[in-house]
Structure 1
């Protein structure tokens, strides 16, 4: 590794909420030789009404201690959304609890999805941007107290009429907040899909994000928006190449070497492959090897 990308690993496969697969899923990642792990803590029923359930937290802490990773990150709620006016107070309670979990479990990053919403009458995108920035700045102060960074992840448009920031606009949000504890997270497949949907220059969108990016989500796709959504098995979407496929590196058509040889991210960035063992365990070793070669292209 180097001082730009300091660790490479995988996200764990999530269970049904009873912690039954957590230990095995972390062991699977450790056995690949990865030195980073991202835990989908949102799926483990540890937070209730914005409060940490102590006995569950202690069980999770015991499981996490069994595995030695150089870098640990937690993935917050999939529906995390600081543009959700109706539920903003609840959203912030959960993020506060997640940040405490990061501190107690030794995770340096909390992944938080960038916001989205339907514009109300008389409302514009700037109103939602402002709401999100104010909430992120507030949570950034909380994160600072724990020595944790919030990584704001770019997401693609998911429904008609939705207000959603482009990757470059996510970067602008991070810059406007101006906190060392709020960084951008590039999800390359998400950026590819949104660039296709909006007819944007994919590489230019990545260039805008890179200088404020401290966390990476790597998985392959063909950048095709969901022109259809009914599949009887995930492999059918793979065969068609449609959507956010979370494929092994090289199964899609993202030009990984071109990207990593061109862009430079923030120091101490972690690269997490969202390519889990449930579908692609046999592909993880080759993906890890290639991801480490990509990381080596970064020179600080």
Structure 2
């Protein structure tokens, strides 16, 4: 774990140590998880992120024991490091449902521990846009809940990795990537880091007119996890697509494309980025693009090597 590393370890250890893919949530089909992991191994990955938001593993904030055992048995079959993506709907700015939100997040920590995952990805919060004093209250509510979750996660040797999200319009409040980093830095907990989602940051920077590179760089000092997928940085300006291919054709939204299909400046990003030692790079590129995933993992490994080499040269 990062908090146990000596000063020499921090100098010498590679920043990005594992590269892989996320599984696809598939409406509770545990057989699909096994097939998805087998394919991730076949692609040459050494880490898989378990997307557990659609697999009926938690009910009312409690882990479903029989399904958790089956998940652990499936994961034990493969030579992979594991990380876990929590609920997409997780939101510690959701005052009405906050206790339910916290219970479900704690159950996700338990599941993470059961499968040997050292990371639980947790989405940063959102709420209706409001005056500054109300927004400050949202931020405090989230910070308090994150501190509780990190305390609980520490007892299970799991780090919570707070992920930046994007707003769909000006009526939605969410923290910018630099503000997500500031939240984590202020809490200053050994079991709380950030997940940089580059695609999310790219869309949000376009929407707000922000500086994409500066925003993701601000997350670097506390980044312990990376989400990589491509898009064009175009916010949602259509409310409905009949087919995902239509969104791809127009280049609108959070497309989760193979690397190179969009126009994210990957080499520029990885030439300026730094992250914590032992970070996993997860490509959120689903089975829709299975034919392109082998090429994407080659590109991702090259980006990881680029960052690691720069860090090693600086430390030498």
Mapped to 2, the partners of 1:227 and 1:194 lie a distance apart of 13
Residue 195 of structure 2 is aligned to residue 185 of structure 1: yes
In structure 2, the residue matched to 1:154 is 164
In structure 2, the residue matched to 1:110 is 120
TM-score w.r.t. the length of structure 1 is 0.96
Residue 18 of structure 2 is aligned to residue 7 of structure 1: yes
Q: Deviations over 1:111-139 (max 9, x none)?
A: 10000001568952111000000000111
In structure 2, the residue matched to 1:73 is 83
C-alpha distance 55-263 of structure 1, shift in aligned 2 (>3 A): same
Mapped to 2, the partners of 1:274 and 1:243 lie a distance apart of 15
1:159 CA displacement: 4.0
1:298 CA displacement: 1.8
Q: Deviations over 1:53-102 (max 9, x none)?
A: 11111111111111111x21111000100000000000000111111111
Mapped to 2, the partners of 1:152 and 1:17 lie a distance apart of 25
Pairs within 5 Å for 1:284-295: 284-295=293-304
Pairs within 5 Å for 1:1-300: 3-69=14-80, 71-119=81-129, 123-277=133-287, 279-299=288-308, 300=311
C-alpha distance 233-211 of structure 1, shift in aligned 2 (>3 A): same
Mapped to 1, the partners of 2:76 and 2:117 lie a distance apart of 12
C-alpha distance 27-205 of structure 1, shift in aligned 2 (>3 A): same
C-alpha distance 119-198 of structure 1, shift in aligned 2 (>3 A): closer
The structure in which a higher percent of residues are helix is 2
C-alpha distance 120-190 of structure 1, shift in aligned 2 (>3 A): closer
Q: Deviations over 1:203-243 (max 9, x none)?
A: 01011111110000000000000001311111111111100
Mapped to 2, the partners of 1:42 and 1:191 lie a distance apart of 22
Mapped to 2, the partners of 1:237 and 1:121 lie a distance apart of 33
State the SS of the aligned residue for 2:201. helix
The count of corresponding residues between Structure 1 and Structure 2 is 297
Segments of structure 2 that go 5 or more residues without pairing to the other structure are 1-12, 312-316
Segments of structure 1 that go 5 or more residues without pairing to the other structure are none
Cα contact 2:143–2:187 (8 A) shared by 1: yes
TM-score w.r.t. the length of structure 2 is 0.91
